[in-house]
Structure 1
């Protein structure tokens, strides 16, 4: 076994022991997350940095001038720390759910923005995005289930 593989294994164990974000699947989950937009939205990819700005309310408009309508998926009957929202927040915003909630409380009371719309079922997220060209959301892979939405590529290399 190479030295690299041993170091990588040791790092993975250290992250699990330290309580880092968990991306393991709960029963009934259908895989990693995909970011979705309306099929009429000309965007096919975003950098992770752009996605973070959108979901933190720091970028409020698409290139064509329409306001961005963010949607969060807060799954019903699921451990909050393993929910799609927790995974999305950790992956793209480097924030835990408590930190994200605190961020939005400060933003709301200082007049600096409004948090994303929240839906409890993936069907509602997909339905909303399919009916709103300006909407962006996320669901688990394999849960698109609508002709009027498309997944977009997120470029991780651009995130500092």
Structure 2
């Protein structure tokens, strides 16, 4: 019986891990920073309101997927080093203190691509498989 439980748990864990995919951090096609090389630290700082510019000095406007989106949760853990509840607490404190505002929120990957394609200062993220020619990939977060 213990063997069956262990086998079932292993199967569930492997299936949940397989559902996660690479995440592409995307920018507008007119953004010159695709050639400068951006790192995870700068992406984290932009998304936590600690940096507001790309390496070339232009403004960086972060966009976030909707709360509860699995890609948002994976991005939060892998880049921001925060669980959804920790991120919520971080932004609640920042807003209450009047220091920072959270990234603009969009409903899904298509809305993210549209928002980023329309704003030359935008930075966003989506599943890597959802990338199309309307946006440029700035950084890839490997699964």
Q: TM-score, normalised by structure 1?
A: 0.70
| Unaligned residue ranges in structure 2 (runs of 5+) | 1-9
Is the helix fraction higher in 1 or 2?
2
Superposed CA RMSD? 2.3
Q: 1:48 touches 1:154 (CA, 8 Å); kept in 2? A: no
Quickly say closer, same or farther: Cα 1:125–1:53, change in 2 above 3 A.
same
Please, which of 9, 34, 40 is the counterpart of residue 24 of structure 2?
Answer: 34
Q: In the alignment, which residue of structure 2 is the partner of 1:43?
A: 33
Structure 2: distance between partners of 1:103 and 1:69:
18
**Any idea what SS the aligned residue of 1:128 has?**
helix
Moved more, 128-137 or 147-156: 147-156
Report runs of 4+ in structure 1 exceeding 4 Å deviation: none
Q: 2:65 touches 2:106 (CA, 8 Å); kept in 1? A: yes
Q: 1:74 touches 1:84 (CA, 8 Å); kept in 2? A: no
| Unaligned residue ranges in structure 1 (runs of 5+) | 1-12, 17-21
Q: In the alignment, which residue of structure 1 is the partner of 2:59?
A: 67
Q: In the alignment, which residue of structure 2 is the partner of 1:119?
A: 106
